[in-house]
Structures are given as C-alpha cells and as structure tokens.
Structure 1
Amino acid sequence: MNPAELSSAHLSPAEVVRRYLKVFETGDVAQMETLVAEDVEIWGAGNHVVGRRYPMGAAVTPGLTDCRMEIVELFEAGDRVVVYFHNTYRHEASGQDALQSGLKMYEVRDGKIVRFWGETDLYGLLMRLGKVPAEVSFE
C-alpha cells in the first residue's frame, strides 16, 4: 500500500464513501481504519450504536458471498453524501443471487466517515431467499 492510501484526508466526501462501499465488495475490512472514525455514530433500523466495529462486522456476511454493489444515485453536499444502492449477493446454500437495496446518508470530516444514517432492505433480501413470506398480514 502506498502512503497516499494510508490517509483519506485528501479525498472528497463522495470519494471517501465510494471507497468505504467498495470494502463490501472486496471484503478488505482493514481499509475501514482509514475511512471510518473509530467512534463513528450509526443510526438505522431503530438503533443507535457507536464504533467502527459495527460497519466492519457488516462487511462480513456469512452465507452471502460475491457482493456486487451498484451505486444507483450518489449526491454530495458539503460534508454529507447520500447514496441509494443495490447489493447483489450470492447465497452459498442455494447458489442463487439475491438483491438488497439501501439508502444511506454519511457525514465525512477530515477524510473519515464520522456519522451515518440509513436503512437496507433486509426483509426484501430474506424474501428473495425464501426465508420469510412474500406477504405479511397485520390483521
């Protein structure tokens, strides 16, 4: 790794987020140390957690391999980046591909993600894998 890759402080917020999202394809979670603050704040799915270990853990998906990420839309405004994306995973047990969509907003300061909010469509992913019913009734 060359010295320029060791620091992300020179990158635009959008480039920091693009490199962060690439980790989900490569599985190189060590890259997160240069892209994500150790005390990153994360909001999503009704939860608020603090710590780089959460996104590092999310990049490893046992049973789902070969993540291919498509950035559908990316918008940068100042220190904020909003991304709508599709992840396509290979389900090891069945061999089938399954799509998951997501929408996230990141705050980047000094080349690191310091805060992010968002949701991914876990139910849709599980439905495509046959793990939950296609329709749910709340009656």
Structure 2
Amino acid sequence: MTEQERNIGIVRRYLRAFVTKDLAEVRSVVDEDVRIYGSGTAVRGRRFAEQAVASPGLTVLDQEILELYAAGDRVVVSMAQTYRHDRTGRTAVQSACKMYRLSGGRIVQFWGEQDLYGLLRGLGLLPDVPVSFA
C-alpha cells in the first residue's frame, strides 16, 4: 500500500465517523494536537474534531464524497453531507471542501470550509431569505 492509499483510507475513516459518531475512531486517526483551520478560526486539539463529530442535535444521514485527491502527505476532499435536525426532523445538505495533512498514520492538520449558512437555512434555523448587503 502506498502512502497516498494509506492516507486516503485514514481520511475516509475520519469522515465516516461523522455518520457513525464513533469517537474511538476519531481518536485513532486524528492526532491529539491536531491543528484545525477554517471559517476564520484556528484551533488546536482533537477535542474540536470530536465536538464536530458528536454534534448534539444533528445527525448525519448520508455522506457523499464528490472528489478525493491525494498527493504526498495531503488529501483533499469535496463532499456533501445530509444532516437531520433531531428536534424538528428537517433535513438539509451541506457542501464542504477540506484538506488534510497526515503524519505517522494520523491527521495532524486540516483546513476547510463548509456551507454553514446554507445548512442553517435548510434546517429552518435561519430565515430563508436573501441576504442584503446594502
């Protein structure tokens, strides 16, 4: 197995944890001191990845990996996840693009952006009206 194939498998295991909510799996593939960048923030620590996977009140019903590319120690993924708001039963799809850097069989850094605004609108948690910047 090549380094790229191994890294793809590790990233797929991490992403699958969003569906299974398997925090033990997150611990096995994400470094304890992982650096996470996105949505204008930078944080450090696996607990942030665990919190994202746990997402109290939200359930990932489906996950579609649209594109996946690996080069050296990096894996880039574009995907769509279907979420259910557990209290209301409403569902919405959120698109995302993420880049992961791996070392020693673990994710040590990742960067990404996801359509949080669209997800919240789709779940009825924000008004479904156009934003005015005037």
- The whole-number CA distance in structure 2 between the counterparts of 1:114 and 1:66 is 24
Partner of 2:77: 83
Considering only aligned residues, what root-mean-square deviation do their CA atoms show, in Å? 1.4
Partner of 2:95: 101
Deviation for aligned residue 1:66: 4.2
- Tell me the percent identity: 51
Partner of 1:137: 132
AA in 2 matched with 1:28: D
- The whole-number CA distance in structure 2 between the counterparts of 1:125 and 1:104 is 17
- The whole-number CA distance in structure 1 between the counterparts of 2:29 and 2:79 is 19
Number of residue-to-residue matches in the alignment:
130
- The whole-number CA distance in structure 2 between the counterparts of 1:12 and 1:36 is 14
Q: Which moved more, 1:58-67 or 1:72-81?
A: 58-67
Deviation for aligned residue 1:94: 2.3
AA in 2 matched with 1:111: G
Task: State which of 35, 41, 55 in structure 1 corresponds to 2:49.
Answer: 55
- The whole-number CA distance in structure 2 between the counterparts of 1:63 and 1:109 is 33
Deviation by residue 1:51-70 (Cα, 9 ceiling, x = unmatched): 00000000012221243111
Partner of 2:122: 128
User: Do the aligned partners of 1:82 and 1:106 also contact (CA within 8 Å) in 2?
Assistant: yes
Deviation for aligned residue 1:96: 2.3
Q: Which moved more, 1:28-37 or 1:89-98?
A: 89-98
- The whole-number CA distance in structure 1 between the counterparts of 2:102 and 2:52 is 19
- The whole-number CA distance in structure 2 between the counterparts of 1:66 and 1:82 is 20
- The whole-number CA distance in structure 2 between the counterparts of 1:129 and 1:94 is 8
Partner of 1:72: 66
Secondary structure of 1:12's match? helix
Structure 1: runs of 5+ lacking an equivalent:
1-8
Structure 2: runs of 5+ lacking an equivalent:
none
Alignment map for 1:33-48 (pairs within 5 Å): 33-48=27-42
Deviation for aligned residue 1:129: 1.6
User: Do the aligned partners of 1:24 and 1:67 also contact (CA within 8 Å) in 2?
Assistant: no
User: Do the aligned partners of 1:35 and 1:111 also contact (CA within 8 Å) in 2?
Assistant: yes
Secondary structure of 2:54's match? coil
- The whole-number CA distance in structure 1 between the counterparts of 2:97 and 2:60 is 20
